[in-house]
Amino acid sequence: MRLSKSPEIKICGITKLNQAKEIALLNVKAIGVIGVKDSKRFVKDKQRRAIFSELSNYANSLKRVWVIADLNDEEIDFALTGQGQPSVIQLHGNESIERVKYLRQNHPKVEWWKAIRLRSPKDLQLANEFSTQADALLLDSWRPDKLGGTGNRVPLEWLKDFSIKPPWWLAGGICAEWIPEVLSAVKPWGIDASSKLEVSPGVKDLNQVEALVNAVQKQANYF
């Protein structure tokens, strides 16, 4: 059960160190960096480590999220050594429940989130199944040609009665203007914003990021 009335905020698709630092000062809960190579927001190892190293200097509660899809053990193990490690790994590919279980057992110091791309309300059953193994779930919209960052929205009516034990985050088309409708309809643990806050892929409009933070806080005060 959620104790706080205000959902947490994750800003994803960060590519620039200076923007990561400025966004961290807005007291968001999590900042995400993309590790999917065919994404327009993909960040190479050296830059990702620089961003995460800097973010580790902020509050310990700030989550450093590395978003990947179907990486092998060698690539994951390498990212979890040395400087600039993620504190959360978000699995955004076709990882099975058994794969999530295996990764959690082998890397217990890292949180493992599983993204579920919803094509219909029936896919929420898959979310329920993954909820037994993942530390958190992220519900996103589905497109056949992209894993995420599409700006497409999950129909809120699908989520009206959705409830699971682990925290769950809502992604897809999140922006300040949509927050009143979202938080009036559903109560996610957190929201994940990316493409709707951008000037171009991977470059955020910091005014829009701040507007989102303010909108979430303002709307939460009504409850």
**Residue 124, pLDDT score:** 94
- pLDDT tens-digit map of 59-82: 778 999 999 999 999 999 999 999
199 part of a folded domain? yes
Q: Is there a domain that residue 89 lies in?
A: yes
Spatial distance between the Cα atoms of 56 and 86, rounded to a whole number of angstroms? 9
Q: Residue 1 falls within a domain, yes or no?
A: no
80 domain residue, yes or no? yes
- Asked if residue 88 is part of any domain, the answer here is yes
pLDDT tops 50 at residue 2: no
The domain spanning residue 207 has which CATH number? 3.20.20.70
Tokens of 171: 């992604």
**Beta pairing, strands 8-11 & 190-193:** parallel
Task: Provide Rg for the chain, Cα atoms.
Answer: 16
Q: How confident is the model at residue 141 (pLDDT cuts 50, 70, 90)?
A: confident
Kindly report the pTM of this predicted structure. Answer: 0.92
Give the range of the structural domain holding residue 50, as residue numbers without chain letter.
8-220
What are 223's two structure tokens?
Answer: 């409850």
- In the three-class reduction of DSSP (H, G, I as helix; E, B as strand; rest coil), residue 32 is classed as strand
* Number of independent structural domains in the chain: 1
Q: Evaluate whether residue 2 is within a structural domain.
A: no
Residue 42: CB partners within 8 Å, gap ≥ 6?
34, 35, 36
CA–CA gap between residue 223 and residue 220 (Å, rounded) = 6
Instruction: Decide if 160 is inside a domain.
Output: yes
